[in-house]
Structure 1
Amino acid sequence: MSTIVNALTPVLSLILAGFLIRRSEFLSPSFWPSAERLTYFLLMPAALIHSLAGKKIGSLPWFGILVTVEWVVAASALLVILWGAANRRMGGGVFTSLFQGGVRFNTFVALALAESLFGKEGLFLAALGAGFMIVLINVLCVSAFSLTVGSGGGLDLRRLGADLARNPLIIGCLLGIGINASGWQLPAAIDGTLALAGKAAFPVGLMAVGAAYRAGDLARHWQPTLVSCGIQFLCKPVLAWWVAAATGLSGAAAGVVLLLFSVPTAPTAYILSRQMGGDHDSMASIITAQTCLSFFTLPVTLWVLL
């Protein structure tokens, strides 16, 4: 329990810090949109390139991890789509918040918990699983925005292709994977620069989430928040446990996969929502609610399924 609290407390603390800074007007209101753009276009891509370029899979059970994480991500996306289809009165912006709340995962919390619970092996396995998930998740989320908000919605393949091609998170993932696959090693100076820039992505993104929070948002957006929490904390862990068993994963590999699908959604979901025209108020509510709730759900999930 203390391990989970120690990993989640910094996340919630930075969200609270952003909320207090915005309310105290310590910084100009114009600071936050600039911070969001900096995170979205520079800091997060740097973190993704650094993370994916240097992870060598070697003799790890990479195929079982790949199948498990991709299957569960696709299944969770399908659950959100089916719920959205049954609730057509929900706006496209709110749907994108629900989609990200049910599909994304908090990489920071997952990696911190993996290292605390399973040591260096767990950290490496978690980074491997996260790398497999990142590209698919970003393609799915950008597609959700492209198809449901702006230009009247609808299937516009040209717009979808353009949104995917210029999305900095997807570009960062592809660059990282390409460098890894080529066998080329980043020069130490470049890798160090990317690592340093990437470290700033999480605190800036978390404080931006807190700055965007408005009193009453949780009550106003209770339905997408409740549904996203159900998918994130109930459906996904059970699916991950079942698929991991079916693919033969065991030990630390199985535990890490389960962990990846038990953490709250990612703060970067808010940045993407702001940049692509989503309902960022509902997104901030979902992130805050899931982060708080995970203090209780994570210990129960790990105790029951591990």
Structure 2
Amino acid sequence: MSGVVSGFTAIFIMVGVGFLLGRTGALGEHAHEVLSRLVFFVSTPALLFYSLVTTDLSTIFSATLVIAGGSALAVGALYAVVAKVILRRDTPDLVIGALASSYVNSVNLGVPIAIFVLDDASFIAPLLLFQILIYSPIALAALDMTALERGTGHPFRDAVVLPLTNPIVIGGLAGVVISALGWHLPQAVLEPLKMLGNMSVPGALLAFGLSLTGAAIFKKGESPRRDIVLATVLKMVAMPLLTYVIARWGFHQTGHQLFAQTVIAALPTAQNVVVYATRYRRGQILARDTALITTLASIPAIAIIAWLLA
């Protein structure tokens, strides 16, 4: 369990620093929005580009891709259906809620847990690439189309053009193309991209901490409680159970493989979702509260999974 403790300790320290910065006002009144935009427009695209041009894309084609990616899409779609039919939410809020219920914290928690708990970092790579190559572009394209008032009035053209102007999508696509072509960029180019990309995870955590300043979690009349409960239950209960079912009976996995797939599914909501919500100004409280609650809930969840399956 040392990997779990190490990963969560790092998260809580970074979020705590962001919270203190917000409480003291050291970074100014608009620090949260500015930092979120820096993560969205600069550091995350750089991280995606650098990761993809330095990664063998063949690692994505594995059973983990289908299991983790399929369960994430299924849970996100389930959230969207329930929130649309029962809660009557519009598309931007559906997208943010779907991400909150299924977008896994695969970097700053997933990597240390994969190394220290699962003893194999290869389990997290397919999920990470799925999220940045497939899941994020789909969600961001939907948000570009529905949350930003900049359409040209031509739905088909907007569906093609708008996603291609998104910096995260641009970074991911450019990285895939260069990696697929087998090009090797000079170190003088890669090094600054790596430095910028290294800001993504701590930047998102600091922005998350800043967003908690003065916030009352689950506040009556302000917090969308039903949405948060739905996203949390789907993330921490439905997603691990669905992943277990797919891995065990769909791919006949047992032992350590089954344990690893289930642990990965029990990781909390990524802080990237809060950054996306801030960028598009939709579902911010939903993303923030779900990320915080699932981070706290994932500690006993992973412990229970380890006790049952390890």
TM range (shorter): 0.7 to 0.9
2:98 partner SS: helix
Q: In the alignment, residue 288 of structure 2 is paired with which amino acid? A: A
Q: In the alignment, which of 256, 266, 272 is matched to residue 270 of structure 2?
A: 266
The 1:159/1:115 distance shift into structure 2, 3 A limit, reads same
- CA RMSD, Structure 1 to Structure 2 (Å): 2.7
User: Which has the higher mean CA deviation after the structures are superposed, 244-253 or 83-92?
Assistant: 244-253
Q: Is the 8 A contact 2:92 2:282 kept in 1?
A: yes
Partner deviation per Cα, 1:186-205 (whole Å, 9 max, x = no partner): 32333332222211111111
User: Which has the higher mean CA deviation after the structures are superposed, 65-74 or 21-30?
Assistant: 65-74
2:118 partner SS: helix
The 1:273/1:5 distance shift into structure 2, 3 A limit, reads same
Q: Distance in 1 between matches of 2:57 and 2:277?
A: 32
| Counterpart mapping for 1:1-306 below 5 A | 1-56=1-56, 62-90=61-89, 92-107=91-106, 108-119=108-119, 122-146=120-144, 148-150=146-148, 156-213=155-212, 214-219=214-219, 220-245=223-248, 246-249=250-253, 253-306=257-310
The 1:146/1:302 distance shift into structure 2, 3 A limit, reads farther
How far residue 146 of structure 1 moved from its aligned partner, in angstroms, is 4.1
Q: Distance in 2 between matches of 1:176 and 1:26?
A: 36
Q: Distance in 1 between matches of 2:89 and 2:46?
A: 35
Q: Is the 8 A contact 2:68 2:243 kept in 1?
A: yes
The 1:173/1:97 distance shift into structure 2, 3 A limit, reads same
Q: Distance in 2 between matches of 1:251 and 1:229?
A: 27
Q: In the alignment, residue 239 of structure 1 is paired with which amino acid? A: L
Q: Is the 8 A contact 1:69 1:133 kept in 2?
A: no
Instruction: In structure 2, list runs of 5 or more residues that go unmatched.
Output: none
Instruction: In structure 1, list runs of 5 or more residues that go unmatched.
Output: none
The 1:281/1:159 distance shift into structure 2, 3 A limit, reads farther
The 1:74/1:89 distance shift into structure 2, 3 A limit, reads closer
1:118 partner SS: coil
Q: Is the 8 A contact 1:61 1:249 kept in 2?
A: no
- Identity, in percent, stands at 21
Partner deviation per Cα, 1:27-64 (whole Å, 9 max, x = no partner): 21133322221111110111112222222266x69332
The 1:194/1:152 distance shift into structure 2, 3 A limit, reads closer
How far residue 208 of structure 1 moved from its aligned partner, in angstroms, is 0.8
How far residue 247 of structure 1 moved from its aligned partner, in angstroms, is 2.5
The 1:187/1:98 distance shift into structure 2, 3 A limit, reads same
Q: Distance in 1 between matches of 2:276 and 2:60?
A: 32
TM-score, normalised by the number of residues in structure 2: 0.86
Residue-pair matches, total: 302
Q: Distance in 2 between matches of 1:282 and 1:17?
A: 22
Q: Is the 8 A contact 1:45 1:169 kept in 2?
A: yes
